[in-house]
Amino acid sequence: MEALAVVLAAMLAVVCVVLVARPFLREPETSDDTLDEPTHAERERLRVAEERDRALTALKELEFDHRTGKVSDVDYREQVAVLRRQAADAIRALDRPR
């Protein structure tokens, strides 16, 4: 009786493993995974978003460097205005209706 229970449990475990692993074992359909070429407007929007991200990252680093004393107050004031303007211009460009 115990041997039968062990065999049934083992078979059930094998069936469960096969059912769970089945989606990972089959070959993916290659027709689904192609991306459409982005349009000119989409490429431009991505460019502006990257510009915004670079400006915001530079602002964050500048503020950190200023707080830790690596950047003087004079240099901070000169650089922060430029970076804020770049970030604001990029954000405005992204907010414009398409």
Give residue-wise pLDDT tens across range 26-52: 876 666 667 788 899 899 999 999 999
Question: Comparing 90 with 31, which gets the higher pLDDT?
Answer: 90
- State the average pLDDT for the chain: 90
Q: What is the pLDDT of residue 37?
A: 87
Amino acid symbol at 94: L
Give the distance from CA 15 to its chain's centroid.
37
- Confirm whether pTM is higher than 0.75: no
Task: Yes or no: say if 56 and 87 are a contact pair by the CB < 8 Å rule.
Answer: yes
